[in-house]
C-alpha cells in the first residue's frame, strides 16, 4: 500500500493552546515505516500533549496531520486505531479487577467473542516473547506483565505506528532489555515506533532518529547514535546541568537516629502491598536509598514511618523513642520530616497558596505560626519567603496557588518547607519524579548538603541513576520486603536490578 | 459553532465577587419569565417581591426577623460545607433545638427570672448539637451518607414536634388548639425598637455569631483545618488533622447554630411552640451558605437577600395574587444560577465560530 521511502506520519505546524499557554508550538516531524523515532524532552516539554493528538484524545488548534500521504483529522481514539495508530500509555489504562482478556477486549471493536480474543492474545503474546495468560487478573500481575497487556492489546489491532510513552519508567533493567528486543523486532516487521523518553542512554541504544522538544517547540533533530548523552541533555535542557559533587562517607557509622524493627503492616485495601518484617537503621550524616519499582510497598513504608499509618509501638523508633503508635504531628515534633511522593493532593493542597501550605506541615512545630488557637498568616508568609529565597523557587506572583507552580518548583518548595528548621531525619519518597533536570540537580545537591550537616536521610526512589548518584547505602524493596543495606559503592545497577525482580515471576 | 470552556490559570478574583450578582440577575430574569407564564405583569411582580417589602420600616423589621435564622444557620452550614460534610438537616436541627429551648417555659412555667432566657438559649443550642451528632456518628461509624441521614431526620423532627405540641405539651388553657402555652415575658427575646416594628435582638445575635464563625474560619487553626479537610483529605492526613473529629465538630457547630435559630424563632417572634415553627428556613439556609460563597460574612448578606424572597412571597399573595410557593421557586432559581455562574470563576467561556484554525491566540 505504501511505497518504500514514503513517509508514514507527517506533522506540519501542529500547535495546541491552553488559554495563553502553548503546550505545542508549530511542531513538525516525519516518521518512516519501520523507524524507531525518539521524542525527547523534559517533563512539561509537550511530548504527552503531542502524542495525545496523534491518538485522537486531543485535537490540534493549528496545523495538519498527514497519514500515509493523506491529510487526516483524528477525532477520537477509535479513529486513531482504525488508521493504525496504537498507543501504550505510561500510566496504564487497565482495570485491576478484570482479566487480561477482558481488558484487551474492551479496546477492540465489537464482534469478537471473549474466547476468540483470549486465543488471539495468547498467540500473539507468546509469538513476540511476551507470554500472557488470558484469564489472569490484572492485579495479580507484575508491572512488567501489565505493560505486556498494554502492548499486546495494541498489537491485536495491527497498528502501523506504535507510540510508547515512557515505557521503561516502571521496568527493571532486565525487563527493559526484553522490551527493546520486542521493539526491534516490530521495527523489522515494518511497524514504526514513536518512543517517548527522557532516558538518554536508552534512546541512544534503541532509536534511529530523535526529535527533541523543549517548551512545546522542536529544538533539534538528530541521530541519537551520533550524539553523546551530554550533548542530548544539553539540547533537551538548553544549558549545562550541574554535576553533583561526590561524597566519601563511611557507611553505618554515625549515631542511629531512626530504627525500624520487624515492621509488618497489612494493606488497607485489596490492592495495597503488605509490608513484611522490614528492619533497618538510619545513621546521622548518611543518605540511605531504597530502590524498587512502584507498587512494591514504597508508599506503605513511607506511611508507616511518617505516622499516617500506625504500627506496633517499637516497630519505629526515633532517637530511641518508640513512636509506632504516635501520629505524624508528634513524629514531626521529634525532628523527623517527610516529603511524600504526591506533591499535589498529599504534600500540598493544590488550591491553597504557598503560605497556607507552609502552615500545613509546620503548624505544630513552629511557634510563630500557631499558638494552638490562632494562626498567623503573616508568619506563614515570612516563612514562605524564606523558603522561596533559599531554595530558588520560581513562581509567577508573590503568593501563588500551589497548583500553578511547575513540578520542579513545587518540589523545591515542598522540600524546603520540611528542611527549613534543622531536621534531624528526612524521609523523602521519589524526590525528583516529574521534575525538570535543573530543579532535580538542585534537589539532589540539597539532600547531599543536608547529610553533610548531620541529617539522616532516607531516599525512596524508582530512579536507579539518582540513587547511585546520591546515596551512601542502598537496599531494594520488593513486594513489601526490604533487602539488607549495602554500601552503594560496593554494588552496581545490574546487581540491584536483579534484586528488584521478584521471585514469583 | 460551539461553546468552549477553557480553564483559567488562576481563579478570577473579579468573578468571585461578580458571579453571585450575575447569578442573582439571571434568577430575576428567569423569575420574570415565570410570572409572564403565570399571566402576571413581570415588572410589577418583581417590584412586589423585592422592592415593596423594604419600602416601609415595619416591613424592614419583618425582614430582620426572617433574616436572623437564615444568617445563623447559613453561617453554621458554611463550616459544614467547607469541610465536605453535607449537612442537609439544618431544618430538623432547628426544630429539635427550638423544642429543647422551649422545654423550660413549657414544662416549668413557674420558673421565672432573668436566668430563663439564657438557659433556654443554652438548651436550644445543646438540643440542636445533639440532634446533629446523629448523622455525624452514623457517618464516622458506618460511613452512612450524611446527606440522606440528615435529610431523613428532618422529617422525624417535624413529626416529633407535631406530636409533642398536640399531645404532652399542649396548652392546658388553650381551648384544645394544637399549640403550647404562650411564653411569659422573661422567656421572650426583647424587641429592639418596639415603636417601629417587631424585630428582636435575635438579629443582633445572628450577626454576632456569624462574625464569630468568620473569625474561626479565617484566623484560627481550627478554621484552617476545616478548609484543608474539605479541600484535600489526603493532605489533611499528612498535616495530622483528624477528619473524624471534624465531622463531629462541623455537624455540631451547625446543629448549635440551628438550635439557636430555632430558639430565637420560638422565643422571639412567635412566643410559643406550634406544629410547625419554620417555613423551611433550614433548607433555605443551604442556599444562603452557597450564595454567600461559603463565607460567614457573605451569609449575612445572602441571608438578608433570601429573607427578602420570603417576605416578598407573603406580600405578593395579596398584591398580585400569586401563591407564596413562588417564593420557593425564586430561591431554587437563585441557587441554580449562582452555582452555575460559579463556573465563570474557574473557566473562561467562549463561543467558537468556524473551524479550529480560526480560533487562535490568547483568550
pLDDT at B363: 35
Burial of A255 (0-12, 13-18, 19+ CB in 10 A): exposed
Partner-chain contact B360 A351, CB within 8 Å: no
Domain check: are A262 and A401 in the same one? yes
Q: What is the ipTM of this complex?
A: 0.82
- Asked if residue A55 has pLDDT above 70, the reply is yes
User: What is the β-pairing status of strands A486-487 and A473-478?
Assistant: antiparallel
Domain check: are A165 and A279 in the same one? no
Distance CA A79, CA A486 (A): 52
Q: Is residue A242 part of a domain?
A: no
Largest Cα separation within chain B, whole Å, is 83
Q: Is residue A445 part of a domain?
A: yes
The SS3 assignment for B111 reads coil
Q: Is residue A407 part of a domain?
A: yes
Distance CA A415, CA B64 (A): 52
Distance CA B329, CA B316 (A): 13
Q: For an interface test with B, which of A363, A370, A402 has the most B Cβ atoms less than 10 Å from its Cβ?
A: A363
Q: Is residue A474 part of a domain?
A: yes
Dihedral sign, Cα of residue B138, residue B139, residue B141, residue B143: positive
Of chain A residues 63-92, which have a CB less than 8 A from chain B?
none
Dihedral sign, Cα of residue A125, residue A131, residue A134, residue A138: negative
Query: For the segment B79-119, what is each residue's pLDDT rounded down to a tens digit?
Result: 999 999 999 999 999 999 999 999 988 888 888 888 899 99
- Asked if residue A311 has pLDDT above 70, the reply is yes
Query: For the segment B35-51, what is each residue's pLDDT rounded down to a tens digit?
Result: 888 888 888 888 888 88
A306 touching B (Cβ < 8 Å) = yes
Host H or E run for residue A348: none
Q: Which domain holds residue A457?
A: 256-500
Query: For the segment B251-263, what is each residue's pLDDT rounded down to a tens digit?
Result: 999 999 999 999 9
pLDDT at B358: 39
Distance from CA of B7 to the nearest CA of A (A): 7
- Asked if residue A443 has pLDDT above 80, the reply is yes
Nearest to A276 by CA among A479, A414, A469, A131: A479
Domain check: are A152 and A101 in the same one? yes
Lowest mean pLDDT: which of A317-326, A385-394, A486-495?
Answer: A486-495
Provide φ and ψ at A91, rounded to 5°.
-100, 110
Distance from CA of A327 to the nearest CA of B (A): 7
Domain check: are A177 and A324 in the same one? no
pLDDT at A5: 59
Domain check: are A402 and A444 in the same one? yes
Distance CA B148, CA B161 (A): 20
User: What is the β-pairing status of strands A217-222 and A62-67?
Assistant: unpaired
At A35, the pLDDT band (50, 70, 90 cuts) reads very high
- Asked if residue A4 has pLDDT above 70, the reply is no
Distance from CA of B67 to the nearest CA of A (A): 30
* Candidate from A21, A351, A361 with C-beta closest to B238: A361
B303 close to B70: Cβ distance less than 8 angstroms = yes
Query: For the segment A147-206, what is each residue's pLDDT rounded down to a tens digit?
Result: 889 988 888 888 999 999 888 877 877 888 889 999 999 999 999 999 998 777 888 889
Partner-chain contact A18 B7, CB within 8 Å: yes
Nearest to B71 by CA among B251, B302, B311: B302
Q: Is residue A433 part of a domain?
A: yes
Contact residues for B280 (Cβ-Cβ < 8 A; gap 6+): B91, B328
Percent of chain A residues topping a pLDDT of 90: 43
- Asked if residue B217 has pLDDT above 90, the reply is yes
Q: What is the rounded radius of gyration, in angstroms, for the C-alpha atoms of chain A?
A: 24
At A502, the pLDDT band (50, 70, 90 cuts) reads low
Q: For residue A171, what is the domain's CATH number?
A: 3.40.50.300
pLDDT at B355: 57
Host H or E run for residue B119: helix B116-142
Domain check: are A54 and A138 in the same one? yes
Predicted TM-score (pTM) of this structure: 0.79
* Candidate from A349, A361, A400 with C-beta closest to B231: A349
**CB contact burial B321-338 (16+ within 10 A = b; e otherwise):** ebeeebbbbbbebbbebb
Query: For the segment B313-351, what is each residue's pLDDT rounded down to a tens digit?
Result: 888 888 888 887 888 888 889 889 988 988 888 888 888
B227 touching A (Cβ < 8 Å) = yes
At A234, the pLDDT band (50, 70, 90 cuts) reads confident
CB pairs under 8 A between A and B: 87
Partner-chain contact A328 B237, CB within 8 Å: yes
What total number of domains does chain A contain? 2
- Tell me the chain B residues in contact with residue A363 when contact means C-beta distances shorter than 8 Å: 221, 224, 239
For A326, nearest residue in chain B (alpha carbons): B240
Domain check: are A420 and A484 in the same one? yes
pLDDT at A505: 32
- Give the residue-averaged pLDDT of A391-401: 86
The SS3 assignment for A191 reads coil
- Asked if residue A441 has pLDDT above 70, the reply is yes
A16 close to A61: Cβ distance less than 8 angstroms = yes
Domain check: are A388 and A273 in the same one? yes
pLDDT at A85: 93
Q: For an interface test with B, which of A345, A370, A397, A404 has the most B Cβ atoms less than 10 Å from its Cβ?
A: A345
- Tell me the chain A residues in contact with residue B221 when contact means C-beta distances shorter than 8 Å: 363, 370, 372-375
pLDDT at A243: 65
Structural domain spans, chain B: 63-280
A221 touching B (Cβ < 8 Å) = no
The C-alpha cell 538548553 sits at A238
For A61, nearest residue in chain B (alpha carbons): B356
Tell me the range of A254-258, B94-98, B278-282, B326-330 where mean pLDDT is highest: B94-98
B224 touching A (Cβ < 8 Å) = yes
The C-alpha cell 441554580 sits at B336
Distance CA A294, CA B345 (A): 37
A349 touching B (Cβ < 8 Å) = yes
Domain check: are A317 and A228 in the same one? no
pLDDT at A214: 85
- Asked if residue A504 has pLDDT above 70, the reply is no
Contact residues for B253 (Cβ-Cβ < 8 A; gap 6+): B76, B79, B80, B213
Among A207, A237, A267, the domain-final residue is A237
Partner-chain contact B238 A401, CB within 8 Å: no
- Give the residue-averaged pLDDT of B153-173: 92
- Asked if residue B362 has pLDDT above 70, the reply is no
Burial of A314 (0-12, 13-18, 19+ CB in 10 A): middle
Partner-chain contact B238 A349, CB within 8 Å: no
Contact residues for A123 (Cβ-Cβ < 8 A; gap 6+): none
B7 touching A (Cβ < 8 Å) = yes
A342 touching B (Cβ < 8 Å) = yes
Q: Is residue A248 part of a domain?
A: no
- Give the residue-averaged pLDDT of B282-310: 93
- Tell me the chain B residues in contact with residue A19 when contact means C-beta distances shorter than 8 Å: 6-9, 348, 362-363
Q: Is residue A505 part of a domain?
A: no
- Give the residue-averaged pLDDT of A422-433: 90
Beta bridge partners of A474: A289, A486
pLDDT at B121: 95
| Strand ranges, E, within A272-318 | 275-283, 287-291, 316-318
Domain check: are A206 and A163 in the same one? yes
Distance CA A491, CA B5 (A): 54
Partner-chain contact A352 B228, CB within 8 Å: yes
Dihedral sign, Cα of residue B14, residue A44, residue A179, residue A164: positive
Domain check: are A227 and A138 in the same one? yes
For A60, nearest residue in chain B (alpha carbons): B356
Pairwise pLDDT comparison (A209 vs B318), residue with the higher score: A209
Amino acid at each position: 500500500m505504501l511505497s518504500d521511502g514514503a513517509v508514514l506520519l507527517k506533522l506540519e505546524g501542529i500547535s495546541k493552546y491552553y488559554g495563553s499557554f502553548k503546550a505545542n508550538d508549530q511542531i513538525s516531524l516525519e516518521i518512516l515505516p519501520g523507524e524507531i523515532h525518539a521524542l525527547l524532552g523534559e517533563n512539561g516539554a509537550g511530548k504527552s500533549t503531542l502524542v495525545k493528538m496523534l491518538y485522537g484524545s486531543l485535537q490540534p488548534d493549528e496545523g495538519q496531520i498527514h497519514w500515509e500521504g493523506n491529510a487526516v483529522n483524528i477525532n477520537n481514539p477509535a479513529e486513531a486505531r482504525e488508521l493504525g495508530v496504537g498507543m501504550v500509555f505510561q500510566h496504564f489504562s487497565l482495570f485491576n479487577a478484570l482479566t487480561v482478556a477482558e481488558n484487551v477486549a474492551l479496546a477492540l471493536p465489537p464482534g469478537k467473542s471473549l474466547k476468540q480474543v483470549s486465543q488471539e492474545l495468547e498467540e500473539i503474546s507468546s509469538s513476540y516473547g511476551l507470554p500472557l495468560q488470558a484469564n489472569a487478573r490484572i492485579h495479580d500481575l507484575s508491572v512488567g506483565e501489565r505493560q505486556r497487556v498494554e502492548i499486546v492489546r495494541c498489537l491485536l489491532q495491527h497498528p502501523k505506528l506504535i507510540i510508547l510513552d515512557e515505557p521503561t519508567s516502571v521496568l527493571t533493567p532486565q525487563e527493559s532489555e526484553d522490551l527493546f528486543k520486542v521493539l526491534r523486532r516490530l521495527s523489522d516487521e515494518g511497524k514504526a515506533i514513536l518512543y517517548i523518553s527522557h532516558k538518554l542512554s536508552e534512546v541512544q541504544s534503541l532509536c534511529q532518529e530523535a526529535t527533541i522538544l523543549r517548551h512545546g517547540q522542536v529544538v533539534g533533530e538528530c541521530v541519537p547514535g551520533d550524539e553523546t548523552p551530554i550533548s542530548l541533555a544539553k539540547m533537551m535542557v538548553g544549558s549545562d546541568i550541574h554535576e553533583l559533587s561526590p561524597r566519601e562517607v563511611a557507611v553505618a557509622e554515625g549515631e542511629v537516629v531512626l530504627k525500624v524493627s520487624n515492621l509488618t503492616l497489612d494493606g488497607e485495601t485489596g490492592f495495597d502491598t503488605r509490608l513484611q518484617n522490614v528492619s533497618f537503621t538510619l545513621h546521622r550524616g548518611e543518605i540511605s536509598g531504597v530502590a524498587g519499582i512502584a507498587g512494591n510497598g514504597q508508599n506503605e513504608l513511607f506511611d508507616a514511618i511518617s505516622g499516617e499509618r500506625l504500627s506496633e509501638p517499637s516497630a519505629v523508633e526515633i532517637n530511641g523513642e518508640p513512636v509506632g503508635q504516635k501520629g505524624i504531628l508528634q513524629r514531626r515534633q521529634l525532628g523527623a520530616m517527610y516529603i511524600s511522593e504526591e506533591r499535589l493532593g498529599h504534600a500540598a493542597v493544590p488550591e491553597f497558596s504557598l503560605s497556607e501550605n507552609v502552615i500545613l506541615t509546620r503548624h505544630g512545630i513552629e511557634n510563630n505560626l500557631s499558638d494552638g488557637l490562632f494562626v498567623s498568616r503573616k508568619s506563614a508568609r515570612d516563612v514562605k519567603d524564606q523558603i522561596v529565597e533559599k531554595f530558588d523557587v520560581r513562581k509567577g506572583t508573590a503568593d501563588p496557588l500551589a497548583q500553578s507552580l511547575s513540578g520542579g518548583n513545587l518540589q523545591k518548595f515542598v522540600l524546603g518547607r520540611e528542611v527549613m528548621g534543622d531536621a534531624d531525619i528526612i524521609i523523602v519518597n521519589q524526590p525528583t519524579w516529574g521534575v525538570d533536570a535543573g530543579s532535580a540537580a538542585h534537589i539532589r545537591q540539597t539532600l547531599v548538603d543536608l547529610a553533610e550537616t548531620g541529617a539522616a536521610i532516607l531516599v525512596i526512589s524508582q530512579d536507579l541513576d539518582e540513587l547511585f548518584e546520591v546515596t551512601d547505602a542502598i537496599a531494594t524493596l520488593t513486594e513489601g520486603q526490604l533487602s539488607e543495606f549495602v554500601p552503594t559503592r560496593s554494588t552496581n545497577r545490574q546487581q540491584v536490578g536483579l534484586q528488584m525482580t521478584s521471585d514469583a515471576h | 459553532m460551539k461553546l468552549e470552556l477553557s480553564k483559567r490559570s488562576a481563579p478570577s478574583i473579579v468573578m468571585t465577587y461578580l458571579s453571585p450578582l450575575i447569578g442573582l440577575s439571571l434568577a430575576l430574569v428567569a423569575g420574570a419569565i415565570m410570572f409572564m407564564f403565570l399571566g402576571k405583569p413581570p415588572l410589577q411582580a418583581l417590584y412586589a417581591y423585592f422592592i415593596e417589602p423594604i419600602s416601609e420600616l415595619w416591613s424592614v423589621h419583618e425582614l430582620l426577623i426572617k433574616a436572623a435564622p437564615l444568617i445563623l444557620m447559613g453561617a453554621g452550614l458554611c463550616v459544614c460545607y467547607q469541610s465536605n460534610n453535607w449537612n442537609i438537616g439544618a431544618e430538623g436541627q432547628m426544630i429539635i433545638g427550638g423544642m429543647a429551648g422551649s422545654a423550660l417555659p413549657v414544662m416549668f412555667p413557674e420558673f421565672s427570672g432573668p436566668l430563663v432566657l439564657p438557659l433556654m438559649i443554652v438548651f436550644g443550642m445543646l438540643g440542636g448539637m445533639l440532634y446533629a451528632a446523629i448523622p455525624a456518628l452514623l457517618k464516622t461509624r458506618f460511613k452512612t451518607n450524611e446527606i440522606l441521614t440528615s435529610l431523613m431526620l428532618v422529617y422525624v423532627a417535624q413529626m416529633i414536634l407535631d406530636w409533642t405540641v398536640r399531645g404532652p405539651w399542649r396548652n392546658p388553657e388553650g381551648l384544645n388548639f394544637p399549640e403550647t402555652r404562650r411564653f411569659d415575658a422573661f422567656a421572650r427575646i426583647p424587641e429592639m425598637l418596639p415603636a417601629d416594628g417587631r424585630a428582636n435582638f435575635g438579629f443582633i445575635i445572628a450577626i454576632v455569631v456569624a462574625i464569630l464563625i468568620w473569625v474561626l474560619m479565617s484566623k484560627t487553626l481550627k478554621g484552617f483545618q476545616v478548609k484543608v479537610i474539605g479541600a484535600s483529605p489526603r493532605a489533611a492526613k499528612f498535616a495530622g488533622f483528624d477528619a473524624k473529629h471534624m465531622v463531629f465538630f462541623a455537624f455540631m457547630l451547625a446543629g448549635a447554630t440551628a438550635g439557636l435559630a430555632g430558639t430565637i424563632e420560638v422565643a422571639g417572634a412567635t412566643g410559643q411552640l406550634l406544629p410547625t415553627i419554620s417555613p423551611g428556613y433550614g433548607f433555605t439556609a443551604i442556599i444562603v451558605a452557597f450564595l454567600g460563597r461559603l463565607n460567614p460574612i457573605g451569609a449575612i448578606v445572602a441571608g438578608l437577600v433570601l429573607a427578602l424572597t420570603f417576605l416578598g412571597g407573603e406580600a405578593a399573595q395579596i398584591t398580585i395574587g400569586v401563591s407564596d410557593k413562588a417564593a420557593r421557586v425564586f430561591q431554587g432559581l437563585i441557587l441554580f444560577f449562582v452555582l452555575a455562574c460559579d463556573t465563570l470563576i474557574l473557566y473562561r467561556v467562549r463561543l467558537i465560530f468556524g473551524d479550529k484554525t480560526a480560533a487562535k491566540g490568547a483568550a
